[in-house]
Amino acid sequence: MSSDLPPAPGDDAPPTLPLLYCDAQLVVVVKPPGLLVHRTALDAHEQRAALQLVRDQIGAPVWPVHRLDKGTSGVLAFALDPDTARHLGAQFESGVPRKAYLALVRGWPAAEGVVDHPLARDPERPSAGQPLLAARTRYERLARVEWPFATDARHPASRYALLQVFPESGRRHQIRRHMKHVAHPLIGDATHGKGAHNRAVAAWLQVQRLWLHALSLELVHPATGTPLRFEALPDVDWRALLAQGSWQWDAPRPAWAGAAG
């Protein structure tokens, strides 16, 4: 099973997150799956969150400038002062940062596509009465697989695909909601996915998690104006995933995926 946090260097030492970048204004880390970005009343039993871990790790207060869902792993940025937080927050609000994700979805989508579908602001409230906000997501299919288990009586095997996904707006749960909208929900998504597929894949892989990873983030440094790019390689779960079955690659197999099986 996946570990919620990376191993600590000692029994009594607090867990640390891999550090991608740190200066006087900005710190960028790799968030593991299962970790909140910040504490919330909606998940009150969780005592640890990335914000507190990074604060303790670098010995300075930090401010969140964007969010990843609890189940999502990958690149996560924090500001080190309120002015930087406002500047970066405005970048994210205007869509300046470029983001790329890896996602495992049900079925075999087209080789590439765009989901241009407005979304209500809060996915956890009834959509009726909420204004719809413009939302656009682009995706490219990287690989396909058929695994030898059934999730319904019509098919003896089940098909899945690995996608690279590029959200061009920043609505809450946007990738998860958009892929559900086109009938290719994310695996491991308990809210917007399909329970039968989530359970079957978890049993097949012996890993239970949301299969969504923030692979890269490009933004403009708030103080210098320098373009920055950060990348978080997928963790061991993803490499184990790609070792299962005969994957058909629609794009060059990335080095992190390991040798073909």
Domain extents in the chain: 19-257
Q: Over the stretch 29-61, which tens digit does the pLDDT of each residue have?
A: 999 999 999 876 555 566 789 999 999 999 999
Which residues form the catalytic set?
69
Give the mean model confidence (pLDDT) for residues 205-213.
96
189: DSSP letter: -
**pLDDT for 38:** 85
pLDDT of 105 over the 90 cut: yes
More confidently predicted of 114 and 129: 114
Q: Where are the beta strands (DSSP E) in 82-196?
A: 98-106, 112-116, 119-120, 132-133, 136-147, 158-167
**pLDDT for 129:** 75
**pLDDT for 96:** 87
pLDDT of 132 over the 70 cut: yes
Could you tell me where the DSSP H helices lie in 11-108?
50-58, 82-94
Phi, psi for 168 (deg, rounded to 5): -100, 0
Q: State which CATH number among 3.40.50.620, 3.40.630.30, 1.10.10.10, 3.30.2350.10 fits the domain covering 19-257.
A: 3.30.2350.10
**pLDDT for 1:** 37
Determine the 3-state secondary structure of 64 from DSSP.
Answer: strand
Tokens of 215: 């692979």
pTM of the model: 0.91
Q: Over the stretch 3-29, which tens digit does the pLDDT of each residue have?
A: 444 544 444 566 799 999 999 999 999
Tokens of 226: 């320098």
**pLDDT for 117:** 96
**pLDDT for 260:** 64
**pLDDT for 23:** 97
Percent of the chain topping pLDDT 70 = 90
pLDDT of 119 over the 60 cut: yes
More confidently predicted of 256 and 85: 85
